[in-house]
Structure 1
Amino acid sequence: MATLGDTLAAARRSSAGLEQWLRRTDPALADEAAAAAARIGISVSGYARMAIADFTRLAGEEDWATLMSGLRDSQDPGTTCLAAMVHWRLTAPACRAHSDTHQAGATHG
Structure 2
Amino acid sequence: MLLGDLIAQLGDETIAMESLIGLGDLALLARVQDAAAADDLTPGEYAAQAVHAFSTQASDEDWVSLIGVMGKTDDPGHACLKKMVEFALRPAGVAHACGHHH
Tell me the TM-score normalised to structure 1 length: 0.68
> What are the ranges of 5 or more consecutive residues in structure 1 without an aligned counterpart?
95-109
Residue correspondence of structure 1 range 1-109 to structure 2 within 5 A: 4=6, 8=10, 11-12=12-13, 14=14, 18=17, 21-25=19-23, 26-91=25-90, 93=92
Larger radius of gyration: 1
Tell me the TM-score normalised to structure 2 length: 0.72
**What's the CA shift for 1:44?**
0.6
Q: Secondary structure at the match of 2:83?
A: helix
- After TM superposition, the runs of 4+ consecutive aligned structure 1 residues lying more than 4 A away are none
> What are the ranges of 5 or more consecutive residues in structure 2 without an aligned counterpart?
94-102
Aligned residues: percent identity? 31
**What's the CA shift for 1:28?**
1.1
1:2-31 alpha-carbon deviations (Å, 9 max, x no partner): x9469638x45x47x825x42342211111
Q: Structure 1 residues 61 and 92 mapped into 2: Cα distance closer, same or farther (>3 Å)?
A: farther
Size of the aligned set, in residue pairs, is 88
